[in-house]
Amino acid sequence: MPTGVGRADTRSYRRLAGTDIDQAMAFFTSDYELRAPSIRRTHADTIWDFAGVTDERMSLRTSRFGVDLRSQSQSDDVIVAWLRSGSSTITFDGRSVDLEPGVPVVLPSERYDLHHRDIGLNLVHLDRGFLTELVGEDSFAFEPLERPDAGGMRIWQETVRRYSSTWLQVDTAMSAVVRHDIASAFADAALRAFPRRSAWRTSVSGSAPEHQRLRKALDYVHAHAREPIGTPEIAAAAGLSPRGLQQSLRRHLDQTPGDLLRSVRLDGALEDLRRAERDETSVADIARGWGFGHLGRFSAAYRSRFGELPSDTLRSRPRR
């Protein structure tokens, strides 16, 4: 630890640089769990460097690697990354995204493919346990690789500008309170800046082809639940046979396609009843809008799921 940092300051500083590719790969492979990396020189003299300041909640890092690198990667941390130079393509869940200079994204929490070319990269690592504790949801996750909107970009950039230089001053001791406040500021900025992953997507983890097809099925059901769809349509959207869809849903979610569709429709009806104006709509209207043709069966299923009748949910809305 640099001179002047007190023992109570748990930050650690690390800086490495060189021209030896084997040394670089030994470091990056252990730090970012690179799997089966493939490297091609892009210059006669390869230059690489890394610097980072880390404690138990967060880490600010910067890296540069002047090669063409293809690999797979994964991390237990929540990582926000943005490109300084070069180019990078991240492929996850059947989708490839080219990182844009200066535009931050949250990297996937599951294994993904990467292709870096003469890359310069800034990264913020947030401890996943610290972040989920702040959110209060163990299943919380960000939607990977989604760019923030203009407001989110502004929030993130302002946080980086305000706190980074203080965090990186490792020659000056920092109290536990200040370290916690800075980590909390970065976590709060991430939560405000980046889209959260929909609950139905976090319910299926893994990046194997079966997981990808099942997420496609879930996406299709949530997008088309108001329409007259059934098992054939859901299976076709996911690239599965009807039997394959049934087996996959049973294996991963312990549901049938009918269970899934009914559950999504009930959730939609709940949200509509919560938002509805009591004098302008009825339970029957909302039930029909979500594909429930029999009001009695809808009310029974609704009560079994949410512990109250749909009419009770509607009555809880105040009159204008």
What pLDDT sits at residue 1? 40
Of residues 205 and 173, more confidence is placed in: 173
Average pLDDT, the chain: 90
Name the residue among 158, 53, 70 with its Cα closest to residue 114. Answer: 70
Same domain, 42 and 152: yes
Q: Are residues 139 and 253 in the same domain?
A: no
Q: pLDDT exceeding 70 applies to what percent of the chain?
A: 94
317 has a pLDDT exceeding 60: no
> What's the rounded mean pLDDT across residues 117-122?
97
pLDDT per residue as tens digits for the range 46-67: 999 999 999 999 999 999 999 9
Distance of CA 134 to the CA centre of its chain: 16
Those residues whose C-beta lies under 8 Å from the C-beta of residue 226, and which sit 6 or more positions away, are 265, 268, 289, 290, 291
Tell me: the pLDDT tens digits for 276-310?
Answer: 776 678 999 999 999 999 999 999 999 999 999 99
In this structure, are 187 and 254 located in the same domain? Answer: no
Average pLDDT, integer, range 230-237: 96
Using a pLDDT cut of 90, give the percent of the chain over it. 71
Q: Are residues 246 and 117 in the same domain?
A: no
> Residue 289 belongs to what domain range?
199-315
**Final residue of a domain: which of 138, 172, 193?**
193
Verify that 157 and 229 share a domain, yes or no: no
Q: Is 21 helix (H, G, I), strand (E, B) or coil?
A: helix
pLDDT at 2 > cutoff 80 = no
Check pLDDT > 60 for residue 320: no
Q: What pLDDT shows up at residue 202? A: 66
214 within a domain of the structure (yes/no): yes
- The residue from 147, 166, 193 where one domain ends is 193
Mean pLDDT computed over 213-225: 90
Domain presence at residue 3: no
Confidence of residue 117 (pLDDT cuts 50, 70, 90): very high
* pTM, to two decimals: 0.69
Whether residues 159 and 216 share a domain: the answer is: no
**Is the residue at 90 inside a domain?**
yes
With CA atoms as reference, report the closest residue to 211 among 243, 238, 230: 238
Look up tokens 């405000």; give the residue: 192
* pLDDT (0 to 100) of residue 84: 97
How far apart are alpha carbons 276 and 34 in whole angstroms? 50
Confidence of residue 6 (pLDDT cuts 50, 70, 90): very low
In angstroms, what CA-CA distances link 40 with 22, 181, 261?
Answer: 12, 42, 48
Distance from the Cα of residue 224 to its chain's centroid: 23
Mean pLDDT value of segment 92-106: 93
Q: Residue 82: what pLDDT?
A: 97
pLDDT at 262: 95
Predicted local distance difference test score (pLDDT) of residue 30 = 83
- How many domains does the chain contain in total? 2
Task: Name the least confident of 10-19, 29-38, 181-190.
Answer: 29-38
CATH code of the domain containing 289? 1.10.10.60
Identify the domain boundary among 144, 177, 193: 193
Cα separation, 52 vs 225, in Å, equals 47
Q: Do residue 27 and residue 163 come from a single domain?
A: yes
Label residue 222 by pLDDT band (50, 70, 90): confident
Indicate whether 155 pLDDT > 70. Answer: yes
Tell me: do 222 and 93 sit in the same domain.
Answer: no
pLDDT at 7 over 70: no
Ranges 33-42, 82-91, 128-137, most confident: 82-91
The CA distances from residue 131 to 105, 153, 164, 168, in Å, are: 16, 19, 19, 21
Q: Provide the pLDDT for residue 288.
A: 94
Q: Span 247-254, mean pLDDT?
A: 92
